[in-house]
Structure 1
Amino acid sequence: MRRCNRAGGTGIAAMLLVTALLSGCAGRPADTIDLAALDTGDYGVEPLEVPDSGDLRRGRILESVRMTEALIDPVEVDPVLRSSADAVGLLPLPTPAKVASIVLAEQVGDVLERHGMLAGAAVTGADIEPGTDRPAVGTARVLLVLVLRFPDTAAAQRAAREIDAADAAMNRDNVPIAIPDHPAAHGHWRPGVPTLAASIAHESYVVNVLAGDTAPDSAVLGDLVARAMDTQIRRLREFVPTPPDRIADLPLDPDGLVRRMIPQAPRRWEYPAVTAMSSQRTAGWEATAQVSGVSFGPRATYLRGNRKQPLIAEASAVSGFNQLRRYADPAAARTAFDGQVRFNLDGGLLPVEGPVGVPDVRCLENPDLDLLSLTRFVCHVHYGRDLVTLFAREVGSARQRAAAQYGLLVNGG
């Protein structure tokens, strides 16, 4: 079965938790600022032109991002599952290799490749707050729901059966188990271990569920899996997938948010990417990934953030570790900005001087991080409805990036 590992919270995962909370601010009118006079280093203040699409690899990432809007909120299955199981509780998973290296067992990757997986996405829920340690097996109620898309129903049915078989073969103590009210599901568990995994095909999709609890009760686990399958299948009926021959043509920046963010490399478009941030080779909810160069809709934005916050952004985008959040109005963004800065200060971050001549920017330093850490310095930049949290290794770079980011928000329309 699957397992969870321990991970420290003073590095990237902890900072991702910080950006998942809130931020905003309003200051002098933008027309009183000479953007050309700002020290932005090699970064520009004019949004880049969005490149043409036509790349299947990137298109699969974009389709997987579209699928995140079709994922359930785990509280729909069980009201106690109000937190994510990790710093980032939702992920697009565009290829068999990403699924195998981030969520499922390594051996499952061959199954997904063989049956032509097109795109995928996963969401997690837990009844404890994510923190310095991810939920270990037996310490919490945890749910992971993974949705994978295949070319047709027949491929999905074969994949569902073989995914379960490959996962079960990871441990000789695993035994088959039926899922209540789902005779077509394929499931297994290890008696005495409080986890259960199962897969079921629905049209051209496979819904894979991993449930964990504090006691090895197969009836309780089976009921949790069954409810998750019911809920996810109902939501999938509302999703309109992109035809396979149109996936390569999906627009790179459909909401115009990526172009409003500084790219990782100055003046170069931030193309869609999903990068594993764990070396785990056993299926489970302990792995995570860095997503970059994409924007998320309201549901995915909520599921990726702090799900208990009353002030939720309407959309979001990511570029490297940097994150943009768009709120309903400037007042909401200001409230979010103030809350984010206050949260950072309460958490022990130290204020540092921001870029000269730029309003609505607050920069801070995390003294607990190594001097070479890419996230040692954090700046929050607010303009209008948008709030950007960005990171840097050095304070000078942080100031330049923050100044450039403010210019991009002003010029981005």
Structure 2
Amino acid sequence: MRSSQLVAANRLAGSMALGTDIDPDFKHGAGSALTSPATATMYLSKATRTVLQANNMLYGWASGSTDQAEFNIFSNSAGDDGLAELQRKRLKARFSNITVLQFEDDATAERVAKDMANADFDVAANENQRVSLPNYPAATSHRRQGIPTLGSTLAHGRYVLYLHVGVRDDDIAQLTSLAEKSYRTQISLLDQLSPLSPADILRLPPDPDGMLRRALNPKQNAGASELEYFTLDRLGYYQANRVQQLHDSIYSEVGADRFTRSWGTELVRTRDEESAETLRDKIIGLRVPSSEAADSPPQLPDTKCAKNTDARLNDKFVDTGERKRFLCAVQYRRYVAVVEADQIQDAHQRAAAQYALLANSQTQ
């Protein structure tokens, strides 16, 4: 069922609050799909895992945002461990981490919220202090004296929300205000998204707009992957690739509404053909800021290609993921795809194959 849960989590991503929805300075961060109690407790207190397992957590999403680019948002887990404490001392930042989990019914969510809050509180029961949020009296919140963070749990229908917010100084008024703003922003989005039953999750189409079938799959691997095989709407894409939110003005201009990755190929759907042409000429610069123009494929003169000149590609000690040396942006009607390869000839071949795949799909 994990692949279905990943599809459900990606659907939820489009209804998660971006940091800038909460505070204009929260421009940096990250997001991640949650498909099991094990993955959820990578971002929640480890003590909550048994609660999630006992109550059949269905899926969820974790989203963190901060005003400091160098601040590792997810090292500040709910447990306030040593790593988080060291980071807060080295680089003071304001942040809001929001985790949303869905359960089978309202009663289960209500029980889970209370049990999660108690488990989290008991991690440091002698130090934690209960806190009330005036505008959210049903939320269970706590903090530690001297640590400028606050944790809070609230059931909202079949959803359970967990907040972990932080400010620069140990100020309860600032923490309360940030927590309430985070709740208000997130709940307004969840109210527009109907929850799913276990049967609904299994019936979700894995490729709702036919993007994955139109994207070249160079590895010929159709396995579910949060990082390599997914399709997301624009807000969901920003959740999973927060740096791309910095280019929202361009994506908004061209009406980009669906983003897909297929084991090395990225595909974007725009408003119309003219918009796709605009994005084709800019998209490599958005993905790889350090690049220089390279030859286009002879049979596809309108395709834009580039050589990645990032020096880190030559450093064997730096993890650059799957990033390749050459990239080509292929446009067909309202779609733009980016293919990659270590050799320019291979990049050209993949560009031609991608163009043919789009053309044969008769996209509009």
Q: Give a deviation string over 1:325-347, Cα, whole Å, max 9, x none.
A: 211122222222323344577x4
Q: Give a deviation string over 1:59-106, Cα, whole Å, max 9, x none.
A: 21111122122222333333332x131xxx3333222222223x2233
What's the counterpart of residue 67 of structure 1?
12
- Give, in whole Å, the separation in 1 of the partners of 2:217 and 2:40: 26
Letter in 2 for 1:301: Y
Alpha-carbon offset, residue 170 of structure 1: 4.3
Q: Is the 8 A contact 1:296 1:315 kept in 2?
A: yes
What's the counterpart of residue 143 of structure 1?
96
What's the counterpart of residue 153 of structure 1?
106
1:328 aligns with 2:271: yes
Letter in 1 for 2:307: L
For residue 364 of structure 1, the aligned residue among 278, 297, 307 is 307
1:108 aligns with 2:48: yes
Q: Is the 8 A contact 1:271 1:293 kept in 2?
A: yes
- Give, in whole Å, the separation in 2 of the partners of 1:237 and 1:157: 17
Structure 2: state its 5+ residue gaps: 74-86
- Give, in whole Å, the separation in 2 of the partners of 1:319 and 1:208: 31
1:184 aligns with 2:129: no
Alpha-carbon offset, residue 307 of structure 1: 4.4
Alpha-carbon offset, residue 259 of structure 1: 0.8
Letter in 2 for 1:187: S
Q: Is the 8 A contact 1:361 1:382 kept in 2?
A: no
- Give, in whole Å, the separation in 1 of the partners of 2:150 and 2:224: 33
- Give, in whole Å, the separation in 2 of the partners of 1:302 and 1:104: 22
Would the alpha carbon gap of residues 189 and 294 (structure 1) be closer, same or farther in structure 2, given more than 3 Å must change? same
For residue 224 of structure 2, the aligned residue among 269, 272, 275 is 272
Letter in 2 for 1:151: E
What's the counterpart of residue 47 of structure 1?
none
**Greater CA deviation, 168-177 or 229-238?**
168-177
For residue 311 of structure 1, the aligned residue among 247, 250, 254 is 250
Alpha-carbon offset, residue 253 of structure 1: 0.9
What's the counterpart of residue 338 of structure 1?
281
**Greater CA deviation, 402-411 or 365-374?**
365-374
For residue 237 of structure 1, the aligned residue among 179, 186, 191 is 191
Alpha-carbon offset, residue 306 of structure 1: 1.6
Q: Is the 8 A contact 1:211 1:224 kept in 2?
A: yes
For residue 383 of structure 1, the aligned residue among 332, 346, 352 is 332
Letter in 1 for 2:224: P
Q: Looking at secondary structure, tell me which structure has more helix per residue.
A: 2
What's the counterpart of residue 10 of structure 1?
none
Alpha-carbon offset, residue 392 of structure 1: 4.1
1:284-299 correspondence to structure 2 within 5 Å: 290=227, 292-299=228-235
- Give, in whole Å, the separation in 1 of the partners of 2:111 and 2:250: 43
Letter in 1 for 2:280: F
Letter in 1 for 2:300: V
- Give, in whole Å, the separation in 1 of the partners of 2:97 and 2:15: 15
What's the counterpart of residue 76 of structure 1?
21
Q: State the TM-score, normalized to the length of structure 2.
A: 0.80
1:93 aligns with 2:29: no
**SS of the residue 1:227 aligns to:** helix
Letter in 2 for 1:299: L
Would the alpha carbon gap of residues 142 and 333 (structure 1) be closer, same or farther in structure 2, given more than 3 Å must change? farther
Alpha-carbon offset, residue 395 of structure 1: 5.0
- Say which structure, 1 or 2, has more relative contact order (CA 8 Å, 6+ apart): 1
Alpha-carbon offset, residue 230 of structure 1: 2.3
**SS of the residue 2:186 aligns to:** helix
- Give, in whole Å, the separation in 2 of the partners of 1:146 and 1:119: 11
Q: Give a deviation string over 1:14-54, Cα, whole Å, max 9, x none.
A: xxxxxxxxxxxxxxxxxxxxxxxxxxxxxxxxxxxxxxxxx
What's the counterpart of residue 250 of structure 1?
204
What's the counterpart of residue 217 of structure 1?
171
Report the identity percentage.
27
What's the counterpart of residue 72 of structure 2?
134
Structure 1: state its 5+ residue gaps: 1-55, 275-289
Q: Is the 8 A contact 1:91 1:121 kept in 2?
A: yes
Letter in 2 for 1:406: Y
Alpha-carbon offset, residue 403 of structure 1: 3.1
Would the alpha carbon gap of residues 110 and 307 (structure 1) be closer, same or farther in structure 2, given more than 3 Å must change? farther
Give the total of aligned pairs. 332
Q: Give a deviation string over 1:260-299, Cα, whole Å, max 9, x none.
A: 1122523x4x23323xxxxxxxxxxxxxxx2x43321243
Would the alpha carbon gap of residues 302 and 368 (structure 1) be closer, same or farther in structure 2, given more than 3 Å must change? closer
